[in-house]
Amino acid sequence: MTAIDDTPPAWDERTQLTTFLDYARDTARAKCAGVSAENARKALLPGSPLMTLSGVINHLRWVEYYWFQVVFRGEEDQGPWTEEDPDREMRIAVDFPLTRLLDEYAEQSARHRELVAGCSLDERARRAVRDDLHVDLRWILLHLIEETARHNGHLDILREMLDGTTGNPL
């Protein structure tokens, strides 16, 4: 697991970005530690029926897939979402054991870590995000740090509502 509290006096930019993304990923996984299969599937927020621990983890997994493989590398989008069901990755998550979703997320994170290590932070995405804007790898890393950290807040709330667990697990 990545710990932020033992920060060295100086890191290069790549190390800072990848360490913070790894820390956010590890926090998401740690927030799910010890959760029963039943609790992982429970939707507790009346206005957000897809907001489950399983749904958030699967969403994070597919968000990374989209940004690294579809946008950055330009691969064909084979994500589970559709135009009719843009949040399908969250909906289908309840059909899989949380342990499987966490393992898939960890395996994919490792592959993306290798991808990032082999590319320049200045390298532009092959696919435009909008208006012919091709963001660089640095932007994608920053976006994924923000996205993962924001969803860690959702995991905090869900976990506390499920079983009272609070605090930073790392």
pLDDT in tens, the chain (170 residues): 666 566 666 789 999 999 999 999 999 999 999 999 999 999 998 888 889 999 999 999 999 999 999 999 999 999 999 999 999 999 999 999 999 999 999 999 999 999 999 999 999 999 999 999 999 999 999 999 999 999 999 999 999 999 999 887 76
Q: Can you give the CATH number for the domain in which 124 is found?
A: 1.20.120.450
**Strand partners of residue 124:** 136
For residue 66, what are the domain limits?
Answer: 18-163
Question: 7 lies in a domain?
Answer: no
CA distance 32 to 119: 31
pTM given for the model: 0.92
Quote the number of domains for the chain: 1
Q: What is the 3-state secondary structure (H, E, C) of 28-72?
A: HHHHCCCCCHHHHCCCCCCCCCCCCHHHHHHHHHHHHHHHHHHHH
> What are phi and psi for residue 52, nearest 5 degrees?
-125, 165
Question: 88 lies in a domain?
Answer: yes
- Comparing CA positions, the residue from 112, 44, 38, 102 lying closest to residue 75 is 112
Q: Which residues contact 25 (CB under 8 A, 6 or more apart)?
A: 2, 60, 105, 106, 109, 148
Question: 169 lies in a domain?
Answer: no
